[in-house]
Structure 1
């Protein structure tokens, strides 16, 4: 396997290397760092110089205010900068908190439980980096409606766990949700801690990790046609254009049902990324009419039923 494919196989280009000190705005005296996700442009690239996924915004908070509640209120209200975005879904609120022997225990509302993979990691990191500034807070424990989040790799999170910058050539670890075919039918996600390099876009790195295949090969598999190469993957206006080599169609599974599941393993994996709403399949740069009996001329959205997941309710306008 080439070095390029090895990098793709182990990478998820969350690129938490953006937060170098020279790129950050300097805070005013006494200002609190409130961390948010970095927004992306139409080309899928970060809007903040440095290429990272999280960055701070500085807020002056009232001296007499509760430091935990004020920071959480600032975090949940969203960023003031157009270059940043909130990592939280609509409806997240702080239900309760308590500080016990250096551990800040936060209980959040049900909406936070809808996060997983990269989105959950970014949201967790923003909370941890924001609240570990509070005097006496050494670690953060986040629950949802009193329950532990099932997709999280660790219960207690510390500021030191957040790898903001790796040295040249050093990968960093992050959690991703990858979708594979289940031998009993449908799709299943595999939560994977993968290594991050700085050589790829978020979409290409996610695809590289997916194409490396599942860990649980007894229950899961990926019938990727032999010789398939990922030529490119780029996000424009919420649509990820994923471009495969000709082998992806020439060696497609003979079973229409299996080919359709392979297609949606790709679609559902990419749609788990926050900036991706739909996926447009290309082969050698050209659109296909169908793949596995599925019309592919237009972008495809995530198939929640095939993944055995409940489709989130549409956010209300209130």
Structure 2
């Protein structure tokens, strides 16, 4: 029998970068698909190898583990891409939940896409999605803001920019800042705005506190246990401004004042003169600017 005249040249296949969510508390939330990926990939990039090492030990996974976090991601991305191009499959995990959601990974995924490397994201645990599902606030439209700035002045400035956002607002917050953040929310949004605070999701002491911002603030101040663990803060959106409900004279005054004053101050003065709502005038002025 004669041999085939066609020669076969092996073409090296690139590997795949897998984005793998890990539990945010309850280890039973690890999916079968995620376990399979972690068991069969050549290496796992972890935000904190000590923290993730304990999870891998619990799961009986012995794959190579290396650190990839916000401080070394740009430096490490090239090395990871080289391994992927050689054919290694690599999983990216964060300390908890879905990577890239207020966690590192954006630089690596962006560079992998640019290099033509396959990126496969697995569904799984995500704290803000879990919190929204159980909060009882509108979820048809929402705005996820991640962590607010740590410095008080910058945090208040960030909140001021969101006062007139009509979508449900979602934030992450840490235990040592929760009291100050709730105080800033009450100051900037007003204490009567509805909110829900979800804490220790999927864990033994999972808690949802709901009510006005002032009511949730009082519950947190009254019980130090509510100041522990990771939190998701969800604030109802502002009421959409209705131009028909605003005195035309108030808008005329606002537009005149804007010629000499910043919008925020002009809206406050026009509202005081005409007995209108400052936030409504402010929102209508923004809508005029966008027309």
Whether TM-score is above 0.5 comes out as no
Q: Tell me the TM-score normalised to structure 2 length.
A: 0.29
Larger helix share, 1 or 2:
2
Write 1 or 2 for the structure with the bigger share of strand: 1
Q: Which has the larger radius of gyration?
A: 2
